[in-house]
């Protein structure tokens, strides 16, 4: 079974409401879908979301990287799967979203050829999951209303986007926490918005009010690994690294430093499924739990994240895979059930998602 074509198409869908963080504002999904076809007619799908503020990639650069890698994949056998993955990663450096899109499509094909759902081929058994939902950064009263709406839809874990300024962030977090029932789990995501000292002061202020979030995600710039350690030594709130972790090397540095409590795995950062699995295995060796997250992505790449979560369920204990729930319409056919906070994998072979 040989690869005969690799082509791309755009995946577009409006969002229910604008997605707003300390780094960007997005009003509609526009991702690049990779379609890999084999000589027996089998088709694999992958997806990549442009996040220039995080990975440095745009639709144009993702397309260019895929075009550059494609000739090295054509006419090669799927049976030589490990070499195909090697080609994706060694033909070009960086470009992690482009690599992820290609990897997802290749894994989809491999699982189809094995006549198994991808998660089962990867050794997973868990099929039902719960995810949080993101509350975008807005005026406090809007965020409270959005949080209360999320509760009415069945969510009990909310990820609050902050990172505008420590003073404003402390005020809005306090107001949101006081407006919600005590059983609701809060996750805070500053998207690199603060300095280490600002982070400590803000978190200690919240903790003095009895608010200890499940974690604070990436409070400082991505390259400030010492800042993460500084914060962790001075607050009760657990630290989750996101933008600081792209590679196994990044993760090992943080784990050796004991700078964080958790790692956030995203396929668009690791370069796809193979390295996401390896990162989870590395975290397990340090007895550190992980969250699997997503960019603002569609159902193809989010589905891949769920399959990975099943494959490493003992280590990946938290899900931030709400991107499909943020869409006003679903731009793909899926065997996977995305029902607000609940996600259920099906028995379809491969990824279980198609255009």
Catalytic residues: 161, 266
Q: How far apart are CA 95 and CA 3, in angstroms?
A: 22
| Distance between first and last Cα of the chain | 22
Q: How far apart are CA 135 and CA 142, in angstroms?
A: 9
Residue identified by tokens 């049976």 is 79
Q: 205: closest CA among 170, 236, 172?
A: 170
Q: 275: closest CA among 283, 205, 125?
A: 283
In the chain, alpha helices (H): 59-73, 81-90, 96-113, 118-121, 140-152, 166-179, 196-208, 225-232, 248-257, 267-270, 273-285, 299-311
| Environment class of 236 (CB within 10 Å of its CB; exposed 0-12, middle 13-18, buried 19+) | exposed
Note whether 273 and 85 are within 8 A (CB).
no
3 state SS of 155: coil
Q: How far apart are CA 65 and CA 57, in angstroms?
A: 10
Q: 149: closest CA among 345, 340, 355, 353?
A: 340
Structure tokens, 152: 């009415």
Residue identified by tokens 């060694």 is 90
The secondary structure of 175-216 as a DSSP string is: HHHHHS-TT-EEEEE-TT-S-HHHHHHHHHHHHHTT---SEE
**Residue 290 dihedral angles phi and psi, to the nearest 5°:** -125, 160
Q: 11: closest CA among 341, 306, 333?
A: 333
Note whether 4 and 75 are within 8 A (CB).
yes
């Amino acid at each position: 079974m040989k690869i005969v074509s690799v082509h791309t198409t755009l995946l577009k869908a409006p969002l229910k409401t604008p997605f707003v963080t300390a780094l960007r504002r997005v009003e509609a999904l526009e991702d690049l879908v990779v379609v890999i076809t084999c000589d027996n007619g089998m088709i694999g799908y992958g997806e990549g979301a442009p996040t220039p503020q995080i990975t440095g990639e745009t639709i144009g650069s993702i397309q260019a990287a895929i075009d550059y890698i494609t000739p090295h994949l054509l006419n090669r056998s799927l049976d030589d799967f490990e070499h195909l993955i090697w080609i994706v990663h060694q033909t070009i450096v960086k470009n992690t979203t482009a690599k992820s899109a290609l990897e997802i499509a290749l894994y989809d094909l491999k699982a189809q050829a094995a006549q198994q759902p991808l998660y089962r081929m990867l050794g997973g058994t868990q099929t039902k999951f719960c995810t949080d939902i993101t509350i975008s950064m807005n005026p406090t009263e809007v965020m409270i209303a959005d949080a209360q709406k999320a509760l009415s839809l069945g969510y009990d874990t909310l990820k609050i986007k902050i990172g505008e300024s420590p003073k404003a962030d402390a005020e809005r977090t306090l107001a949101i926490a006081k407006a919600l029932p005590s059983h609701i789990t809060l996750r805070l995501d500053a998207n690199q918005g603060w300095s280490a000292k600002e982070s400590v002061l803000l978190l200690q202020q919240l903790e003095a009010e009895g608010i200890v979030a499940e974690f604070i995600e990436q409070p400082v710039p991505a390259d400030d690994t010492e800042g993460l350690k500084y914060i962790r030594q001075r607050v009760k709130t657990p630290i989750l690294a996101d933008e600081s972790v792209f590679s196994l090397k990044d993760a090992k540095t943080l784990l050796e430093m004991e700078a964080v409590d958790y790692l956030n795995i995203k396929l668009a950062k690791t370069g796809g499924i193979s390295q996401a699995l390896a990162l989870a295995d590395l975290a397990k060796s340090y007895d550190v739990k992980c969250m699997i997250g997503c960019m603002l992505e569609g159902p193809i790449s989010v589905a891949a994240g769920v399959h990975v979560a099943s494959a490493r369920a003992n280590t990946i204990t938290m899900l931030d895979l709400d991107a499909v729930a943020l869409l006003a319409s679903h731009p793909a056919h899926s065997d996977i059930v995305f029902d607000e906070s609940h996600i259920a994998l099906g028995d379809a072979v491969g990824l279980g998602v198609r255009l």
